[in-house]
Amino acid sequence: MRERELTNREILIMKCAWSSEKELSVQEMQGRLKEQFGWDAKRSTLRTFLVDMEGKGFIAIERRGRHSYIKVLAEEDEYKKTQTAKMLDFWFDGSSQKLISALTNEVTEDSVDHLMGVLDELGDD
């Protein structure tokens, strides 16, 4: 289990890494961060974040020739589940009913139909 949380900037880095079908070089990561999030991170700044994230166990940095590549160690779905559970505990006292109530406060009819379909599928398991 990872002990330390990701910062907001680290989450942006992970989003880029998770959305890639291959390991990204630091230079490729810089380009994606600028393109997807408008963050024009300097190489030294990005390296600092990457080293911290490696220490937290989310990534590994592998040197190959003249370039460093970012290898993802944490699965996105696992991270989402962990963060959702923390949010549920913190904001909704562990009550998924309170969370659903907050989410459905201002929903469209299509959203309600979709949610009902999801709940029906869960009931079939």
Do residues 60 and 100 share a domain?
no
- Please enumerate in sequence order all residues whose Cβ is within 8 A of that of 2, keeping only pairs 6 or more positions apart, or say none: 56, 57, 58, 74
pLDDT value at residue 125: 62
Prediction pTM value: 0.80
Do residues 67 and 113 share a domain?
no
Residue 1 has pLDDT above 70, yes or no: no
The pLDDT tens digits of the residues spanning 29-43 come to 999 999 999 999 999
Do residues 55 and 28 share a domain?
yes
Print the domain residue range for 110. Answer: 76-124
Q: CA-CA distance, 39 to 12, in Å (whole number)? A: 9
Do residues 13 and 68 share a domain?
yes
CATH of the domain at 42: 1.10.10.10
Domain assignment present for 1: no
Domain boundary among 72, 95, 111: 72
The pLDDT tens digits of the residues spanning 77-125 come to 999 999 999 999 999 999 988 888 888 777 777 877 887 888 888 877 6
Domain boundary among 28, 56, 72: 72
Q: Residue 28, exposed/middle/buried by CB under 10 A (0-12, 13-18, 19+)?
A: middle
